[in-house]
Amino acid sequence: MQINTERYGEGIKIIFIHGSGLNNSIWHNLKDHLSSSFEVVLVDLPGHGGSYGDGYDSIEDYRDALFNIIKATDLEGSYIAGHSLGGAIAMSFALAYPQIIKGLILIGTGARLKVLPQILEGIIKNKEKTLKEIIELAFSDKSHEGLKEIHYNETVKCPKEVMYKDFILAPCLPALLACRWPERLGFRDRLPMD
């Protein structure tokens, strides 16, 4: 499967993975700031943005697609930055292939993510309305003018079936917590885990 990747700048490599229903355009503003000091690699997950397909049914499938990209494009030794679902993919990658990456940058993600059943139902029944509701909850009233609209316009491009599968993957994340991933990667989590 052809996966869209874009590379900008030179230096330490950072691979950016977007979240559920999104595409690599969410990183473009950040790319403009970082590419003068880093090599910024933007990935569209399968079924998202410029990558074809129907999305994947598991975090592991997305992880392994990322592994293939890294091997095929000489990106070993990169940092992986992941937002939401992208963070879950990054954590899974670090568990499976710790020797291939330098580290993780996790943004708005965690080992425990829950998606309200109303969101899952809404994506299928009325994706546009549901996306507007999600965006209203996700962005502060103090967000830059037009940011919500930009985010909506990009997210609405994702087919509802792909977006639904992305959100369904969220309950799979406790498996990452159960395996005590920080200890497996050689560091301790300093936060209490109840």
Residues 6+ positions from 164 with CB-CB distance below 8 Å? 120, 123, 124
* Cβ burial, residue 157 (10 Å; 0-12/13-18/19+): middle
For tokens 């996700």, the residue is: 138
- Determine, yes or no, domain membership for 148: yes
> Tell me, what CATH number does 55's domain have?
3.40.50.1820
Is 191 within a domain? no
What's the total number of domains in the chain? 1
In a domain, 192, yes or no: no
Instruction: Compute the mean pLDDT over every residue in the chain, rounded to the nearest whole number.
Output: 86
Residue 176 lies in a domain: yes
Residues 6+ away with beta carbon under 8 Å from 40:
7, 8, 9, 14, 16, 27, 30, 31, 34
Confidence of residue 169 (pLDDT cuts 50, 70, 90): confident
Please tell me the total number of residues recorded for the chain in this structure.
194
Could you tell me which residues come within 8 angstroms of residue 127 by beta carbon, excluding any fewer than 6 positions away? 156, 160, 163
Residue 68 belongs to a domain: yes
194 found inside a domain:
no
CA atoms within 13 A on the CB side of 55: 23
pLDDT in tens, 96-133: 999 999 999 999 887 767 788 899 999 999 999 999 99
190 in a domain, yes or no? no
Q: How many helices (H) and strands (E) does the chain have?
A: 9, 5
In a domain, 79, yes or no: yes
> Could you identify the residue written with the tokens 């030794």?
77
Q: CA angle, 185 as apex, 21 and 7 as ends, to 5°?
A: 45
Whether 11 shows a pLDDT value over 50: the answer reads: yes
Q: What is the pTM of this model?
A: 0.86
- Taking only the tens place, the pLDDT of each residue in 67-92 is 999 999 999 999 999 999 999 999 99
Position 171 scores a pLDDT of: 57
Q: pLDDT band at 181, cuts 50/70/90? A: very low
| Domain span at 131 | 5-184
